[in-house]
Amino acid sequence: MSAVAEVLSTVTLKGDPRCSELPTCPVCADSMVAAEASAYISDHVISYLWTCDTCGYGFVTKHAVKQRLVCN
């Protein structure tokens, strides 16, 4: 079975990615609950692999992570 994937850019308006709205499939508009996989691209970027349970379409999103300052 072959898979098709593309990278979609996301802009999070809220500070925490968990508080943002979850993606919907760009093909069938079904909502997605959890990413299939995740990976650190760099110290401040995480990518997520999403696969639609309804139609099987796959795509990748990338999220920038802000560095937290530690106060002593």
pLDDT in tens, 6-54: 555 555 444 555 555 678 899 999 988 899 999 999 888 999 999 999 9
> Which structural domain, as residue segments, surrounds residue 1?
1-11+33-65
Is the overall model pTM greater than 0.75, yes or no?
Answer: no
Amino acid at 65: V
Into how many domains does the chain fold? 1
Query: Residue 22: inside a domain, yes or no?
Result: no
Query: Residue 23: inside a domain, yes or no?
Result: no
pLDDT of residue 66: 79
- Cα separation, 64 vs 11, in Å, equals 9
Query: Residue 16: inside a domain, yes or no?
Result: no
pLDDT of residue 69: 67
For residues 38 and 1, the model is more confident at 38
Radius of gyration of the chain (CA): 14
Query: Residue 7: inside a domain, yes or no?
Result: yes
Query: Residue 45: inside a domain, yes or no?
Result: yes
Query: Residue 21: inside a domain, yes or no?
Result: no
pLDDT of residue 22: 79
